[in-house]
Structure 1
Amino acid sequence: MTVTPAQLRAFASRAEALTAEIRELCGSAPAEPAERAHLQAALHAADWLARGAEDLQHAAEDLARLRSQPLCGFGWGVCPEHGNTLSSRAGVATCRVCRRTWNYDRLGQPCREPVTWKVTDPAGTETRMCDGHVLGARAAMGGATFIRLDAGAFDEQM
């Protein structure tokens, strides 16, 4: 199942509405001494729910931003931090440097990291690639030009 930014925003809206309902209910209830602690606990839970709603909104924004960027698409995956340092065994990929693992054969699938670099080789051929792939390209492509793309550069240069 694919998660969409709209789904995350809908969850955030539901969490905000539930937070408001809890605060209204607990704020309007008579606060007898025996109930006060329980109502405070409910209000505390509403505060956590409000924080969760904010986190869901941020996650929706981040996911939308990520999806608006083109993907690297090289025929093999890499560690986003260390480049061509993956090994794969029994369907699990592991970076040999940081020991981060992915529960699928990341090495054997096309790269799904966002494009962050424009690389121009000495012949003038441009290639778009992610942070991990650019590490290997820097080592292998003498005389190439590497330009870091910011989020706004994709609209202008793609």
Structure 2
Amino acid sequence: MTVTPEQLRALATRAEALTAELWALCGTVQNGSAEPDPLVAARQAAGWLARGAEDLQLAAADLARLQEQPCGLPWGVCPEHGNTLNSSAGISTCRVCQRTWAHDRLRRPCDETATWKVIDRAGTVTRMCDGHVLGARAAAGNATFVRLGAD
């Protein structure tokens, strides 16, 4: 099973709700007597739940960042049309949609988010963006294409 940031955020939300419920429950008991507080452990648990909720939110953010790794192939493409770029005088233009970038996108590593895992016949795994996958589907015979987050 693959853990997603959304699953961790959902758990954090549940922990936050339990924390609030526990604090509300503990708040209904009058304290101030000379006897030891019978709800010390419950209040400690509420604090731990609150800390757990914070940690789950941090873990979700970290996981989301890891999943948003750049494609990293050593040349750029149009994110929508693939290998359709021209580059001249430091400006890149897609031949299909005419979108432009104010840098030589062709000769720089791709910084689009990797959205696919491509496994070739030898078992080599390459993470690619949507634009690179367009060209890879045409060129890579017998490769397996897996949408990231779906495996």
TM-score between the two structures when normalised by the length of structure 1 = 0.52
* Structure number with bigger Rg: 2
1:145 is matched by which residue type in structure 2? T
Alignment partner, residue 86 of structure 1:
85
Matched, 1:130 2:129: yes
1:79–1:66 CA distance, 2 compared to 1 (3 A): farther
Query: Where does 1:143-154 land on structure 2 (aligned, <5 Å)?
Result: 143-150=142-149
Alignment partner, residue 121 of structure 1:
120
What is the RMSD computed on CA atoms of the aligned residues? Answer: 2.0
Alignment partner, residue 96 of structure 1:
95
Between Structure 1 and Structure 2, which shows a larger proportion of helix residues?
1
1:68–1:143 CA distance, 2 compared to 1 (3 A): closer
Cα deviation for residue 123 of structure 1 reads 1.5
For the residue of structure 2 that corresponds to 1:139, the secondary structure is helix
The Cα offsets for residues 61-107 of structure 1, whole Å up to 9 and x where unpaired, read as xxxx5785111111110000000100001110000011100011111
- Aligned residues with identical type, % of pairs: 67
- Measured in 2, the distance between the counterparts of 1:67 and 1:122 equals 26
**Structure 1: gaps spanning 5 or more residues:** 1-64
1:104 is matched by which residue type in structure 2? H
- Measured in 2, the distance between the counterparts of 1:91 and 1:121 equals 33
1:126–1:67 CA distance, 2 compared to 1 (3 A): closer
For the residue of structure 2 that corresponds to 1:74, the secondary structure is coil
Alignment partner, residue 37 of structure 2:
none
1:70–1:98 CA distance, 2 compared to 1 (3 A): same
Whether the 8 Å CA contact 1:66–1:114 is kept in 2: the answer is: no
**Matched positions, count:** 89
Query: Where does 1:1-158 land on structure 2 (aligned, <5 Å)?
Result: 69-150=68-149
The Cα offsets for residues 29-87 of structure 1, whole Å up to 9 and x where unpaired, read as xxxxxxxxxxxxxxxxxxxxxxxxxxxxxxxxxxxx57851111111100000001000
